[in-house]
Amino acid sequence: MSSSRLGLRLAACLLNISEARRKNIVENIAKAALLEKNGQKHPEVSVLNIFSDRDYNRSVITIAASVDDLGNSVLAACLEAFQSINMELQEGVHPCLGAVDLIPIYPLSGVSVEECGAVARSLAESLLLRAPSCSLFLFGEADLPEKRTLVQRRKQLGWFTRRDFSALEPDLGAAPARRCGLTDSKLRR
């Protein structure tokens, strides 16, 4: 029986972080997504996969949850990443530009693309409240009204060529800081 027939409304985040060489940090970030505020394991949140590339020094943590719980789980993981990863020290062949580099939200079952965009926007606003020095660049359904694609945003930002991001004006938050870098929060189609 499919999850949509069971009434489950599921979404996933493929959280991209700028760390792969220190396994304990990657695991702590993933664990942060699994815990409720009281420190107990959240019964409706799962980390489905962790892919780490040591050359890139980048990991992708796949977090799945009900659409109502996903934002808080990803927020906890992002806050742990901001505390644990210093972009001034980060090295890798991929141009990782933020401690949390990318926060794409995808619908899995019973959830619309627009709802995932709303989760991404809400998550971006929550990140600013909890980590006011972060800077966020939106795309997809989170980037209203433009709905620019990731490729468009990366070209606009000079993602693969620029090294000084201090002059950029983020969609939300302060100018990019060297310690945390910049973060793309969005929904990918």
Average pLDDT over residues 83-93: 74
Whether residue 139 is predicted with pLDDT greater than 70 in this model: the reply is yes
- Identify which has the larger pLDDT, 170 or 59: 59
Decide which of 37 and 187 is more confident: 37
- Catalytic option among 21, 22, 94, 179: 94
Integer-rounded Cα Rg, in Å, for the chain is 16
Task: Report how far apart, in Å, the C-alpha atoms of 49 and of each of 12, 15, 36, 76 are.
Answer: 11, 11, 19, 17
Q: How far apart are CA 134 and CA 123, in angstroms?
A: 12
Residues pairing with 17 in the sheet: 59, 100
- Tell me what pLDDT residue 186 has: 44
pTM of the shown model? 0.87
**Residue 61, CA atoms < 13 Å, CB-side half-sphere:** 31
Closest to 173 measured CA to CA, from 159, 189, 188, 184? 184
Confidence grade of residue 46 (pLDDT, cut at 50, 70, 90): very high
Tokens standing for residue 79? 């806050």
Q: What secondary structure letter does DSSP report for 160?
A: T
List 41's β-bridge partners, or say none: 35
- Which of 47-51, 84-88, 115-119 shows the lowest per-residue confidence on average (mean pLDDT)? 84-88
- 95 contacts 159 by C-beta, under 8 angstroms: yes
Residue 173 neighbours by CB distance under 10 Å: 23
Residue 126 pLDDT: 94
- How confident is residue 131, by pLDDT bands cut at 50, 70 and 90? confident
**In the annotation, is 42 catalytic?**
no
